[in-house]
Amino acid sequence: MSDTTAVRKERESGPEADDESRPTLRERRIAAWRGAPRVLARLDFLAPLSERLTLLEAAGSVYDLDETSDIYGNGVVEALEKRVAGLFGTEAAAFFPTGTMAQQVALRCWAGRTGNPAVALHPLSHPEVYERNAFSQVSGLRPVRMTSEPRLPTADEVRDFEEPFGALMLELPLRDAGFVLPTWEELTEVVDAAREREAVVHFDGARLWECTEHFGRPLEEIAGLADSVYVSFYKSLDAYGGAALAGPASLIEEAKAWRHRYGGNVFQQFPTALSALIGLDRELPRLPEYVRHARVVAAALREGLEAGGLPWFRVHPEAPHTHDFQVWLPYDADVVAEVAIEAAEETGTVLFANHWDPKGPGLSFTEVYVRSAGLEWSAGDVREAAEEFARRLLRAA
């Protein structure tokens, strides 16, 4: 299953799902999102292919298109690797087709160096939730779960963990817990605790790009805490795909050998590499602005849902740590999804564009993303849309 909520592969349940001639909730949701004049985020990967291809019209602004195309990782791919290493202040970086592969390779290399295949991580971490036990089934690693709380582990939990581990993997932000981050002081203490145990520290930084606002530190300083860092090019930067592993030159050299063994040394990757370079130029500088506006959106959502009369709801975190956050409601997922889609279809305003997940009897949640399109919304706009949604939901329930 994909880790991106908006592209879940399963057919979403609902009254119309029983009739194959009628669109599923997912199909209606995407259609409403595409046609809506007002959304909080335009997720480019859900756009029609014709629109996605227009991204490469800017390729000439990020790379000399008279250069020979890449072959097995040279050319524009090498240029992207150097750009990433420069941003994170590391000796080197390696391009990977997927983050799943990048992290397995990184942690496999560290296991060989530490002599310990145990990887301490959170049970909500991406490899534990979305990768079909790839660590143990493919790479000979042994995941050990450090805490069950919906937050990153504390320094005491790392220091007092009951068994040895060779690497500590920290997902920053921890997506499935609500895109949450520790404070800078908490993060440095956790890293120090791992060092006391002679463990290496690896950052699952798929969304690390947008963490600078929360930490109040540049990417180079954040990455400098870890021994290695993985980042994604599509989750924040709207690239076609791809990932990078950044760290010491000796690690990256070994990682490239394993990349080849894992089948990741792709013949040509220039469309993805170019789209990543475009994202670094276009989106990366804007991410702090998105994070700040997400806090405005979250506060206005709370006010609007309360004014609309909902007896209980939760915006989590109350002040988002990144430009993504969760909204929890005490209704079945099918009910909330239908109301959200109908509101989008009838008003042309999409407040909740993503899938609603059931989390228990009469309880569901969704993820809210704020991107450049969301900057057009004032706090008043969000409050008005949230109040209207709440009233619709109360009528439907």
Q: Which two tokens stand for residue 373?
A: 């399109």
Candidates 378, 377, 385, 366; CA nearest to 305 is 385
d(CA 77, CA 277): 10
Candidates 282, 336, 352, 307; CA nearest to 55 is 282
DSSP alpha helices (H): ranges in 216-313? 219-223, 249-261, 270-282, 287-307
Residue with tokens 């220039």: 270
The pLDDT, as a whole number, for residue 22 is 85
- Running DSSP on this structure, what letter comes out for residue 1? -
Beta strands 167-171; 142-145: pairing state: unpaired
d(CA 325, CA 317): 6
Strand partners, 232: 243
In the predicted model, is pLDDT for residue 31 greater than 90? yes
Whole-angstrom Cα Rg for the chain? 21
- Running DSSP on this structure, what letter comes out for residue 97? S
Residue type, 367: E
In the predicted model, is pLDDT for residue 21 greater than 90? no
Cα angle 197-200-201, degrees, rounded to a multiple of 5: 110
- Running DSSP on this structure, what letter comes out for residue 7? G
Q: Terminus-to-terminus CA distance in the chain, angstroms?
A: 31
The pLDDT, as a whole number, for residue 397 is 82
**Residues 290, 29, 231, 89: what is their CA dihedral angle, to the nearest 10 degrees?**
-20
pLDDT in tens, 59-110: 999 999 999 999 999 999 999 999 999 999 999 999 999 999 999 999 999 9
**pLDDT tier for residue 19 given thresholds of 50, 70 and 90:** low
pLDDT in tens, 250-297: 999 999 999 999 999 999 999 999 999 999 999 999 999 999 999 999
Beta strands 243-247; 228-232: pairing state: antiparallel
Residue type, 138: V
Residue positions counted in the chain? 397
The pLDDT, as a whole number, for residue 20 is 64
d(CA 3, CA 100): 11
**Residues 175, 181, 182, 187: what is their CA dihedral angle, to the nearest 10 degrees?**
90
Which residues, including other chains, have CB under 8 Å from residue 289's CB and lie 6 or more apart?
375
- E strands along the chain, which residues? 38-39, 92-96, 118-121, 142-145, 167-171, 200-204, 228-232, 243-247, 314-316, 324-329, 349-350, 357-360, 363-369
pLDDT in tens, 197-254: 999 999 999 999 999 999 999 999 999 999 999 999 999 999 999 999 999 999 999 9
Residue type, 373: A
The pLDDT, as a whole number, for residue 45 is 87
Q: Which two tokens stand for residue 278?
A: 């475009």
**Residues 209, 372, 334, 300: what is their CA dihedral angle, to the nearest 10 degrees?**
100
In the predicted model, is pLDDT for residue 311 greater than 60? yes
Taking residues 332-346, report their average pLDDT.
96
Strand partners, 229: 203, 246
